[in-house]
């Protein structure tokens, strides 16, 4: 049975019950990305003011720091976009960190074996897509929870990475043209950050402007209802797994080009950071709710906090504590908002 259409009184409060600014703020808070947008804005304002007041001690606005942040965010941001789409569809992928590394390693080995660069890059991307498809098939055909299926895949891939690489870091030097295309710079703007914006925009078009996006929200929110209206649930979820794997592969390729090498331990922990960025950005842990704008801002927030800790010369391991605190606060806030009338 379809829910009743909200009445005009429910949609809009009576005139005079709230100020215009208060109403706008309330609407912003109820948006899936509203809270994270407010937090990011306040944090950025505080950092800018701190950098102006203490320019020598807190170099947040220095060109070198801005370039560093814009280079670092895409590594997590691109993966988080893929994971966000998958979580909205009601599934998880804990193997994206290993997929990130294996895709980069496959590209590096293919290029070292004499394959043309475009072919090597295509092989790296296909590695992530195939892993995503396998995760989806195992989850959907064998009816194994995606958390367990992808956890097993993560451990399997990590073992294969160590076996195939011999625990050695592999260099990757594709040439200046490809390096500029993937990780060059235009003034302070980093090309890798432009790739993140492109992926985020493509994700926005998919989720907010395409019928498939409606299906992804539907299968994550209520699988039975989605089936009842004719949505092919297995196909939609399989597509979401493929997107997550492809996003992890693209992130691995960009990161490998940036550092000119791939390490077998590269990408460890990215899967949890990606889930954290999604939760902080307002994606529901139960599926069916979320915004890729929020996911993007969640990734930016995590790296901003890390950057602040580095600028303040705080020990790096404090980052885990801040991430944990953000996850708890974001999950609690999202639940409170969902219960509000």
| Nearest of 249, 140, 247, 264 to residue 199 by alpha carbon | 247
Asked whether the CA dihedral 172, 176, 182, 187 is positive or negative, the reply is positive
Q: What is the pLDDT of residue 10?
A: 38
Q: What is the pLDDT of residue 231?
A: 92
- Was domain 68-334 assigned CATH 1.10.10? no
Q: What is the pLDDT of residue 31?
A: 63
Distant-in-sequence, close-in-space partners of 171: CB < 8 Å, separation ≥ 6: 108, 260, 261
Contact 252, 128 (CB under 8 A): yes
Q: What is the pLDDT of residue 2?
A: 40
Question: What averages of pLDDT result for each successive group of 10 residues across the chain (341 residues)?
Answer: 40 47 58 77 92 91 92 94 96 96 96 95 97 96 94 95 87 93 90 95 92 94 91 95 97 95 90 90 88 92 88 76 75 64 43
Q: What is the pLDDT of residue 192?
A: 95
- The radius of gyration of the chain's CA atoms, rounded to the nearest angstrom, is 21
CA–CA gap between residue 278 and residue 299 (Å, rounded):
8
- The strand pair at 170-171 and 189-190 is best described as unpaired
Q: Terminal CA-to-CA distance of the chain, rounded, Å? A: 20
φ/ψ bin of 267: left (φ > 0), alpha (ψ from -120 to 50), beta (otherwise) = left
CA–CA gap between residue 37 and residue 45 (Å, rounded):
12
CA–CA gap between residue 74 and residue 253 (Å, rounded):
11
Asked whether the CA dihedral 93, 196, 250, 246 is positive or negative, the reply is positive
Structure tokens at 211: 């019928």
pTM summary value: 0.88
Measured from the Cβ of residue 67, the count of other Cβ atoms closer than 10 Å reads 16
């Amino acid at each position: 049975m379809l829910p009743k259409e909200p009445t005009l009184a429910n949609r809009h409060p009576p005139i005079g019950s709230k100020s215009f600014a208060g109403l706008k703020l309330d609407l912003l808070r109820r948006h899936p990305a509203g809270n994270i947008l407010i937090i990011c804005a306040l944090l950025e304002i505080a950092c800018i003011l701190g950098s102006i007041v203490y320019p020598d001690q807190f170099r947040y606005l220095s060109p070198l720091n801005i370039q560093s942040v814009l280079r670092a965010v895409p590594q997590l941001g691109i993966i988080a976009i893929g994971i966000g789409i998958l979580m909205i569809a009601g599934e998880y992928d804990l193997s994206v960190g290993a997929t990130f590394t294996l895709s980069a390693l496959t590209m590096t080995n293919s290029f070292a074996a004499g394959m043309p660069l475009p072919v090597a890059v295509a092989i790296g991307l296909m590695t992530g897509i195939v892993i995503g498809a396998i995760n989806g098939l195992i989850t959907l055909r064998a009816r194994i929870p995606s958390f367990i299926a992808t956890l097993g895949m993560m451990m399997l891939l990590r073992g294969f990475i160590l076996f195939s690489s011999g625990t050695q870091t592999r260099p990757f030097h594709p040439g200046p043209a490809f390096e500029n295309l993937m990780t060059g710079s235009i003034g302070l703007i980093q090309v890798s950050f432009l790739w993140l914006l492109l992926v985020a925009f493509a994700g926005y078009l998919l989720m907010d402007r395409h019928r498939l996006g409606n299906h992804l929200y539907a299968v994550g929110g209520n699988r039975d209802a989605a089936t009842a209206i004719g949505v092919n649930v297995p196909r939609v979820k399989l597509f979401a797994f493929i997107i997550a794997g492809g996003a992890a592969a693209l992130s691995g390729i960009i990161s490998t080009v940036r550092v000119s090498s791939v390490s077998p331990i590269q990408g460890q922990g990215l899967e949890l950071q990606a889930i954290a960025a999604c939760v902080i950005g307002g994606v529901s842990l139960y599926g069916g709710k979320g915004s890729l704008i929020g996911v993007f801002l969640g990734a930016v927030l995590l790296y901003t906090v890390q950057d602040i800790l580095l600028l303040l010369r705080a020990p790096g391991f404090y980052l885990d504590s801040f991430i944990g605190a953000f996850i708890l606060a974001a999950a609690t806030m999202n639940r409170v908002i969902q219960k509000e009338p």
